[in-house]
Amino acid sequence: MKSFASFLIVLPLMAAVCSAQPQNRPRGNGGGGGLGGMAPLAPQFSATLTKLFGDHKAFSTVMDVAMARGTGGDSFATPCKLAFLDGKFRMEIDLTQAKGSQIPPGMTEQLKAMGMGEMTIISQEAKGISYFVYPGLQSYAEIATSDGKPVEADKIKVEVTELGKETMNGHPCVKNKVIVIDQSGKTNEATVWNATDLKKFPVHIETTEANAKVRMDFKDVKFDKPDAKLFEAPAGFARYENLQTMMQEALMKRLGAPKPGQ
């Protein structure tokens, strides 16, 4: 199971950016591709990150996420809208608002022109699936999580150690070290600032993975129950079994090329 950082940084932007890059670029963290060379991954969001939200089962918020790798290395930042309901996450991202040292010049304009400037990720790990939705394409891809198996949330363990009390983002908080142990025994560690004036909601989260520091800030928190339909595949949209096919068709349409087989 991937950790919080793998999902939050690699997935939201690169699911779109990778498809717009030349197909013979090296993949992975190596090969000189930087962030732009990473392949999109199925989200692992709710299984681990849910535990950092404690007893909160329904909420919506605005999340600003930022990553920095090393001193003067790769950077990435983007705002997004986040909704959560009973173990299901919905994340809406305006990719044209993303900023980072590895985003090629003109990339956000290209994504917008292709109808890929906005995307929504819906994670249903209890079913072992996620939806990558592109409203501008009227399309979505349904993708299994990494092992294709539903996550059993009750088998994920959490260890919390209080580190002190601080004010964060204008809220009085308890600062905690949180270790999440997933059902396979792997651990993820984060430092969490739980706001005492927001029912202990985490207004700030920091974690580190592979020398990348990730910061998540939450604002405009609302505890109203989101509409359950927000966590379903969008009705009337074209369904694809993978992102590559969906994005290749979008690119060919923009270039005026016929679909494969035509």
Taking only the tens place, the pLDDT of each residue in 82-102 is: 999 988 899 998 888 888 776
Phi and psi at 23, nearest 5°, equal -70, -15
Residues forming a β-bridge with 79: 64
pTM: predicted TM-score of the whole model, two decimal places: 0.78
Residues forming a β-bridge with 21: none
From 218, 17, 239, 237, select the one nearest 129 (Cα to Cα): 239
Which of 140 and 77 is assigned the larger pLDDT?
140
When pLDDT is averaged across residues 4-15 and rounded to a whole number, the result is 43
Identify the H or E element spanning 15.
helix 11-20
Taking only the tens place, the pLDDT of each residue in 144-167 is: 875 556 666 677 889 999 999 999
**Do 129 and 242 meet the contact criterion of CB atoms below 8 Å apart?**
no
Which of 189 and 155 is assigned the larger pLDDT?
189
When pLDDT is averaged across residues 52-76 and rounded to a whole number, the result is 84
DSSP assignment of 80-148 equals EEEEEETTEEEEEEEGGG-EETTSPTTHHHHHHHTT-SEEEEEEETTTTEEEEEEGGGTEEEEEE-TT-
Is the Cα dihedral 152, 155, 156, 158 positive or negative?
Answer: positive
